[in-house]
Structure 1
Amino acid sequence: MVPFIVPAKDKVLMKIGEGGDTPHPDQTDLNIFVWNVYKGQKAHLFENDFKKHGSGKDFILLQEALVDNKMPLLWKQDFSAYEWHLAQSFHYKKDLSSTGVAIGSKFTPTAVDFIRSRAREFFWLTPKLTLFSEYDFQGKKVLLVCTHVLNFVTTAAFSESLYEIAEKISHFDGPVVLAGDFNTWNVKRYMIMKSIFRDLHLDHLDLENDGRLLKLDHVFVRGFEVLKAEVHHKVTGSDHFPLEIKLKI
C-alpha cells in the first residue's frame, strides 16, 4: 500500500502566518537563509539551530519542510512576524502531515506559484516541488525561488526538471534568487545544472567556509551584488548544512 497522497494541484499551496511588512524605503540589502531541514528529524538540535541562525533574516528558504504538529508551531511562536508559503509534495497517510518546500518572510509576496516535476522519484514515485515568490522592493520586482530537485532519477529526468524551472524563470526580467537542494551528487549533474542556469545569466555563488564533501545545496543570483555567501558547516540540526547569503539590489 502506498503510504502517501500527492495532493491535487489546487491543494499544493499552503499559507501559514501573516507578514504585512513592507521594505524600508532605504533597504537595499537582503539577508537570506537556505536550509534542507531534514523534516526536523533531529528535534531539539534542529529547533535550536533554526532559531539561532534563521532569526532576523529577510527570507528563509526551506527544503523538506514538514507540516506536522511541531514545525508550524515553531514558525508561529518564534517567527510570528513571518508569512510562510509552502508547496507540498505529498501527505503521509498515517497522520496527514505533509512535506515540501517553503519560503518565509516578514514581507507579503505579490505573487506565489509553483511547479511540480513531471518526473517522479524511483521507488517512492513522489514528485519534487519548486516554489516561486515575488516581492516588491522599491518598486522593483524581486523573485525568490526555492527548489528541491529530483534525486533518484535518470540524468535525463534530472535535466528535464531543471529545464522546467529555467523555463518559468525565463519569463521574469528582474533580480532573481534561486536556491535549494539540487541533488548534484556527481560531476555530470553539477555541470548540467550550471550550464542550464548560466544561460539565464544566473551566477552560481562560491560559498565561504565550504567544508562540504558533497555539495548538494546551491545558490544562483541575478541582478544583485553579493555581500556574503557562506556555509554554516558546524550546524548539526540536519543532514545538510545551512547557507547564509547577503545581497544588495
Structure 2
Amino acid sequence: MVPFIVPAKEKVLLKIGEAPKLPLASSQFDIFVWNVYKGQKAHLFEQDFKRLGENKDFIFLQEALLDQRMPAMWRSDFSAYEWHLAQSFHYKKDLSSTGVAIGSKLTPLSVDFIRSKTRELFWLTPKLTLFSEYSFGEKKALFVCTHVLNFVTLKAFTSSLYEIAEKISHFDGPVVLAGDFNTWNFKRYMIMKSIFRELGLEHLDLEDDGRILKLDHVFVRGFDVVKAKVHHTIVSSDHFPLEITLKL
C-alpha cells in the first residue's frame, strides 16, 4: 500500500503566520536556504535552525515538515514571519506533510507553485517549486524555492528544470532562485547552469564552500551580491545551509 497521499492542486498551498505590514528597513536583506532533512535530527536541528535562521529576512526551506514540531517553532521563534508551504505529499500514518516553504518578514503580493510532471522513481512522489512575488517600494521581485527531481532519468530532470524556467520567463524583474537541485553529477550541473543562464540568472559561487557534492544552489538576477556562503560545519541535516546577502 502506498504510504502517502498527493494533495489535490487546490490543497497544495498552506499559510502559517502573518508578516507585519511594514517595509523592510533597507534594500539589503539576508536569505537563508536549507534542505532541513525533515528535521530528523530533532534537538540538534532546532538549535541550528533557530541560531542560523535568526534575523534573516527570508528563509527558503526544502523538505520542510508539517508535523507537531516544525510549525510550532515557526509560530514561536519566528513569529514575525509569514510562512507559505507548497506540500508535496501527506504521510498516511499521521497526515503530516512535506514540501518547500518560504518564510518572510514581508507579505507576498502573490504565491504560486508548480508540481513536477514526472514523479520520483520508486517513491512515486512529485517535487514542488514555490513562487512568491514581493514588493520592494516601486520594484517587484520574484523569489523561487525549489526541490528538483532526484531519482529520474536525465531527460526527466532536464524537463523539470525547463518547467521552472518557463514560469520564471514570464517575470521581467529581479529574481532569486534557490534550493536543492540534486545536481549529483556534472551533466546535471551543467544543464542546470545553461538553462537558467538563458534567463539572465547568475549562478553564485559560495564562500567557505567545503562541499564535496554540490546539490544546493542560488541564482540571482537584478541584485548586487554582498555575501554568499556555506555553513559547512553543520551536521543536523544531510545538506549544508546557505546564507546570502543581496542588495537591490
Provide TM-score, normalisation by structure 1.
0.99
- Once residues 137 and 23 of structure 1 are traced to their aligned partners in structure 2, the CA distance between those partners, rounded to angstroms, is 7
Instruction: Give 1:109 deviation, angstroms.
Output: 0.3
Equivalent positions of 1:1-249 (< 5 A) are 1-24=1-24, 27-249=26-248
Deviation string, structure 1 residues 36-60 (Cα, Å, up to 9, x no partner): 0000001011100000000101100
Kept after mapping to 2: 8 A contact 1:61/1:146: yes
Q: Tell me, which stretches of 5 or more residues in structure 2 are unaligned?
A: none
The residue identity in structure 2 corresponding to 1:197 is F
Aligned structure 1 segments of 4 or more residues deviating by more than 4 angstroms: none
Q: How many residues align?
A: 248
Match of 2:118, SS state, is coil
1:95-144 superposed Cα distances (whole Å, 9 cap, x missing partner): 00000000001110000000000000001100000000000001210110
Query: Aligned-pair distance for 1:21?
Result: 3.3
The RMSD of aligned alpha carbons is 0.7
* Residues 134-193 of structure 1 deviation map (CA, whole Å, 9 limit, x = unaligned): 000012101100000000000000000000000000000110000000000000000000
Supply the distance in 1 between the matched residues of 2:156 and 2:20 (Cα, whole angstroms).
39
Give the Cα separation in 1 of the matches to 2:158 and 2:29: 30
Deviations along 1:70-112, one digit per CA (max 9) or x if unpaired, are 0000000100111000000000000000000000011100000
Is the CA contact (8 Å cut-off) linking 1:232 and 1:243 kept in structure 2?
A: yes
Q: Secondary structure at the match of 2:219?
A: strand
Instruction: Tell me how far 1:20 sits from its aligned partner.
Output: 2.8
The alignment's TM-score, normalised by the length of structure 2, stands at 0.99
Shift of 1:22: 2.6
Q: Retained in 2: the 8 A contact 1:31–1:246?
A: yes
Residue 71 of structure 2: SS of its match in structure 1?
A: helix
1-side partners of 2:158 and 2:22: how far apart? 37
